[in-house]
Structure 1
Amino acid sequence: MSTAYIVKEIYIYPIKSLAGISCQQAFAEEMGFENDRRWMLLDSDNQHITQREYPEMSQFYPEISEAKISVTFQDQKHEFLISEHLNDSIYTKVWDDKSFVFEVNKLTSKWFSDCLGFECKLVKIIKAGDRKHESSRSKETYNVSLADGYPYLLIGTKSLDFLNEKLKEKITVKRFRPNIVISTRNAHEEDDFEHFKVGEVHFKNVKSCGRCIMVNNDPQNGIVKKEPLKTLSKYRNFNNSVLFGTNIVGLNPGIIQVGDEVVF
């Protein structure tokens, strides 16, 4: 097929609901890209917390350097080892999915608690199978990370272009927290992809992604606005779900890079 379909951007989000990291390449695993949403924050009741309730979480900026993750918030910075975690497992849920996680360390939990102004802890998912998610459409069950539902989110450039034509204030694709952004010919054609290959990895499309209020949080400043969900709901509302981008799963491990062709 034509080389119209090219990987333009790759993102990982090490800690659920915090800012993402733009990558030139990433290693695809069953649960998602390496180090993508392997960590999240739990409140004092061991319930996961997100930008939906705390939009300021978008202002925490992680970086990965060798064996460490550092997180910057305002004028403060904290780091911890990618490999570290305490020994006792914690039972929690990511939406309806049972999940087993481990606290990273007490000092890291205190840093996040102090920054956010309430007690919370940073936890990590250790291995595939510690959280399983059943697809509502295919009824297949997948080993997943701490992402909302699926290992990867794919968005086509024309989908964003089409939306921006309707918005007074233009937005970037970061509003939608994709893992892979590809150049496309038509808006929302990624919804109809079935099986395809990028770099070393074969992917399967599972279902279009239903969006929530979180896309209204401006990642530049953590301010929640009415757009783009208001406009999207006028033309992308299907059975009371506002769709933008599509959820995919990887069928084998491997590397993908910016510039890779999408092969059907």
Structure 2
Amino acid sequence: MSTVHIVKEIYIYPIKSLAGISCKSALAEEMGFENDRRWMLIDAENQMLTQREHRIMSQFYPNISDGKISITFQDQEHEFFIDEHLENSIKVNVWDDKSEVVEVNHETSKWFSQHLGFECKLVKILKNGARKHESSRLKETFNVSLADGYPYLLIGSKSLDFLNDKLNEKITIKRFRPNIVVSTENAHEEDNFKTFTIGEVQFKNIKPCGRCIMVNNDPENGRLKKEPLKTLSTYRNFDNSVLFGTNIVSLNSGNITVGDALVF
């Protein structure tokens, strides 16, 4: 058993591109952690909405309690039931993947529309298999939620330390929206993880994660900055992709907890 690689932080992001929730433990499922990116905002043309175009989305803060999700934006709050949804299905795309979703309710969509300043809907993916993502690297297809590509993103602590040593203005791990943060000895050693177990769950590493302009959006205030992508591109650019963290999938369901060791 490794005494080096310990789970330091766990995060879920119930609604795609909104703020995340720090968790002490989480239930890992094939599609990702329970309640992680099962919801997404879409515009009037049923196109997904993200912080890439709407940085203000980082200022909506979710919380889960008593079977409900509450969203806080500035001094306003709205809540809906986790299991709540309308019946009519909607066809959407998450990048190149087709997915079937349903609207949560009209009131919730109206609340988001008012605060974002344009018509939108909050939708939910209901079942495993409603969206499939093909790995071009592995020639394998995965059942995923509404995340960009893969169910889980893992980052090693030394990767952030190494980057911060190069930055004038230090940043937190929240810039990279990980699901699992683990303690490591060397920067980016997580790129080379293969198969490993955390708690009750076996995970498989798929590939390092290519990063986009979204990591330059400061989640504390929603402002776009030049870093960290500018600095990362000087030493983490591989085949025109800037890599940070690694995409993983779970091979079974079960719980993982902060403090669990990675067993290789």
Deviation at 1:120, TM superposition (A): 0.2
Shift of 1:136: 1.7
After TM superposition, the score normalised by the length of structure 1 is 1.00
Structure 2 unaligned regions, length at least 5: none
Query: Is residue 90 of structure 1 aligned with residue 90 of structure 2?
Result: yes
Residue 38 of structure 2 aligns with an amino acid whose one-letter code is R
**Structure 2 Cα separation of the partners of residues 64 and 113 of structure 1:** 21
In structure 1, the partner of 2:26 is: 26
TM-score normalised according to structure 2 size = 1.00
SS class of match (2:109): helix
Q: Name the CA distance, whole Å, in 1 between partners of 2:222 and 2:135.
A: 31
Give 2:172's aligned residue: 172
Q: Which amino acid aligns with 2:45?
A: D
Q: How many equivalent residue pairs?
A: 264
Structure 1 runs, 4 residues or longer, greater than 3 Å off: none
Q: State the Cα deviation string for residues 4-28 of structure 1 (Å, max 9, x = none).
A: 1000000000000000000000000
Report the CA distance between 1:137 and its aligned residue: 0.7
Q: Which residue of 2 aligns with 1:113?
A: 113
Instruction: Give 1:161 deviation, angstroms.
Output: 0.3
Identity %: 77
- What is the Cα deviation at residue 66 of structure 1? 1.6
SS at match of 1:202: strand
Q: For residue 218 of structure 2, what is the amino acid of its counterpart?
A: D
1:151-170 equivalent positions in 2, closer than 5 A: 151-170=151-170
Report Cα offsets for 1:17-71 as digits up to 9, x if no partner: 0000000000000000000000000000000010000000000000000210000
Matches within 5 A, 1:4-153: 4-153=4-153
Question: Is the 2:2–2:261 Cα contact (8 Å) retained in structure 1?
Answer: no
| Contact in 1 for aligned 2:100/2:130 (Cα 8 Å) | yes
The 2-side partners of 1:55 and 1:22 are apart by 21
**For the residues of structure 2 that align with 1:207 and 1:169, how far apart are their CA atoms?**
29
Q: Does 1:234 align with 2:229?
A: no
- Cα offset for 1:2? 3.1
Distance 1:124 1:13 in 2: 13
Q: CA deviation at 1:167?
A: 0.2
Q: Hey, what's the Cα distance between the residues in 1 that align with 2:22 and 2:11?
A: 5
Uncovered stretches (5+) of structure 1, i.e. residues with no partner:
none
Summarize deviations over 1:109-146 as a string: whole Å, max 9, x none.
00000000000000000001100000121010000000
Residue in structure 1 matched with residue 184 of structure 2 by the alignment: 184
User: Is 2:59–2:219's contact at 8 Å kept on the other side of the alignment?
Assistant: yes
Aligned-partner Cα distance in 2 for 1:237–1:223: 24
Q: Which SS does the other structure have where 1:36 is aligned?
A: coil
Letter in 2 for 1:20: G
Opposite residue 110 of structure 1, the aligned amino acid is K
Name the SS for the 2:50 alignment partner: coil
Kindly indicate whether the alpha-carbon contact (under 8 Å) linking 2:104 and 2:123 is maintained by their aligned counterparts in 1.
yes
Match of 1:162, SS? Answer: helix
| Residue equivalent to 2:2 | 2
Question: For residues 67 and 164 of structure 1, what CA distance do their matches in structure 2 show?
Answer: 38
Post-superposition CA distance 1:81-101 (Å, at most 9, x none): 000100000001000000000
